[in-house]
Structure 1
Amino acid sequence: MLFLLYFAVIVLIPLWAQMKVKGTFRKYSQVPTSTHRRGAEVAREILNANGLFHVGVEEGRGFLSDHYDPRTKTVRLSPENYHGHSIAAAAVAAHEVGHAIQDGEGYAFLRFRHALVPVANLGSNASWILIMLGIVFHASGMLLLGIIFMAAAVLFQVVTLPVEFNASSRAMDQVISHGLIANREEREARKVLNAAALTYVAAAAVAVLELLRLVLIFTGMNRSED
């Protein structure tokens, strides 16, 4: 029963977060900004205002596929945000530019997250193999190694939180200070960014819970061997 409850929690939390962000985005993608600028224009204006003329703005593919690519110095916006004139498009575009500004300033948490990428990828790929082998063969050493690998991936998720919150904070400052949205639209833009942040919070929470569960399994295994 406890296992079923735990399973429901780790499934429902991310599902709820995804539904929240999609619902909020769809709602405010129907509300145009008073300035009527496209998301691509919002991104370009903020980049130029911060001296980031070398950072490109491109149309990406897929629903809510928006991201900043630090390797190519490019802000990629999903079609609805690249072409859209909505509060949602302006907020998302400004958020991704927030990451470009972080990159240009050498923001510490962003640099740390970039450094963690290869370790986190290795941890994500190898951890569950080691964990399953450790549980099946009752090998606590192998299980511990899997937990260590998984901890690296969880650390990446946790470090992502301040990076995302800071990018959203920068986004709000930029769209207001440069007159890209009206003051009365700030609340709606913030709702879009807060909903998007929920997905990262949910992912980090689930990752931490899963790591704690495995630590408890490891502790129990060691006790049974004593």
Structure 2
Amino acid sequence: MPYSYYYWGFDPTYILVLIGAVICLVASARVKSTYNKYASYRSMSGMTGAQAAERILHSAGIYDVSVQHVSGNLTDHYNPSNKTLNLSDSVYGSTSVAAVGVAAHECGHAIQHQQGYVPLALRSAIVPVANLGSTLAWPLILIGLFFTSNTGTFLIDLGILCFSFAVLFQLVTLPVEFNASHRALRILGEQGILSDSELPYTRKVLKAAALTYVASAAASILQLLRLVLLFGGRRRDD
């Protein structure tokens, strides 16, 4: 089998995976610490995350999205398939500037959906392909390693292509998340839900959250680069 040095001995490309893991861990730790810090800052309006979400949605003319309470910590998300805005334990009933900011961010996604924001529509369209690609990528690559003919090369290339769709999903997610945060900060100010003195705190929370998506995208790119480095030379050897 080609590249036995990689498979049965030391794999120098694994450093790329470790770098990606460290980046994600640092980003995750930062968003948690930032959120916890500003979760103790009660907003002057006294509105909870759920109340702020309802107000933002209605001000945007959105009445068919329901605000729901879901368990967990920072498990907040907007589901376009059933039009539900799901707020976690730490956000739904909290009056902190951090909770209000996260709720407003999810409202940003609902507004994107209502307005037909192209990157969001593209991300939604990519989801099935990305999920399938993530599932099939490594099985195809591993099966391809048992062939030394063009069949093996084809299967490996197909596996790398499948993984590329997962990377593409991560990249398309970035503008979607950045735009949602931008909308959130603007609306919070315009609606008077947060004061000018409170917005910088919320901006820090949303910026830290955005960095987790950047970290995930970077980790995916590094993993893709690893696959190319590991198997890119197979075609030359065959």
Instruction: Give the TM-score taking structure 1 as reference length.
Output: 0.96
Matched, 1:156 2:169: yes
- Map of 1:188 onto structure 2: 201
Partner of 1:168: 181
Is residue 209 from structure 1 mapped to residue 209 from structure 2 by the alignment? no
The yes-or-no answer on 1:51 pairing with 2:64 is no
How far apart, CA to CA, are the structure 1 residues paired with 2:100 and 2:41?
A: 11
Compare CA radii of gyration and give the structure with the larger one: 2
CA distance in 2, matches of 1:87, 1:191: 10
Percentage of identical aligned residues: 46
Q: Distance in 1 between matches of 2:203 and 2:147?
A: 50
In the alignment, what sits opposite 2:191? 178
1:72 aligned partner: 82
Give the deviation of 1:35 after TM superposition. Answer: 0.9
**How far is the alpha carbon of 1:201 from its aligned partner?**
0.5
Deviation at 1:137, TM superposition (A): 4.4
Equivalents in 2 of 1:3, 1:146: separation in Å? Answer: 18
Q: For the residues of structure 2 that align with 1:134 and 1:48, how far apart are their CA atoms?
A: 53
TM-superposed deviation, 1:7: 3.4
Which of 102, 111, 125 does residue 135 from structure 2 map onto?
A: 125
How far has the Cα of 1:60 moved from its partner?
A: 0.8
| Cα distance between partner residues in 2 of 1:112 and 1:8 | 30
Provide, for residues 93-142 of structure 1, a one-character-per-residue CA deviation record: whole Å limited to 9, x for no partner: 00000000000000000001111111011101111111222245452211
Instruction: Indicate if the aligned counterparts of 2:14 and 2:226 stay in contact, CA closer than 8 A.
Output: no
Deviations 1:36-88 (A, max 9, x none): 11000110000010000111111111111100011111111001100000011
**2:107, 2:33 → 1: CA distance?**
23
SS in 2 for 1:68: strand
1:23 alignment partner AA: S
Structure 1 portions without partners, runs of 5+ = none
**Root-mean-square deviation (Å):** 1.3
Partner residue of 2:122 out of 112, 116, 122: 112
Task: Work out the CA distance in 2 between the residues paired with 1:131 and 1:208.
Answer: 17
- Code of the residue aligned with 2:67 in structure 1: it is V
1:92 aligns to what?
A: 102
Higher helix share: 1
The structural deviation recorded for 1:224 is 1.8
Amino acid at match of 2:45: T
Q: Which has the higher contact order (CA 8 A, sep 6+)?
A: 2
Count residues with an aligned counterpart: 225
Alpha-carbon spacing, 1:136–1:172, altered in 2? closer, same or farther (3 Å): farther
Q: State the Cα deviation string for residues 8-58 of structure 1 (Å, max 9, x = none).
A: 202101111110111111111111111111000110000010000111111
Matched to 2:218, the amino acid is A
CA–CA separation in structure 1 for the residues paired with 2:17 and 2:60: 45
Alignment-mate amino acid for residue 160 of structure 1: T
**Aligned pair partner of 1:19 in 26, 29, 32:** 29
What is the rounded CA distance, in whole Å, between the counterparts of 1:79 and 1:107 in structure 2? 29
For structure 2, which runs of at least 5 residues remain unmatched after alignment?
A: 1-9
TM-score, structure 2 normalization: 0.91
Deviations along 1:130-179, whole A, 9 cap, x unmatched? 12222454522111010111111111111000000000000001100000
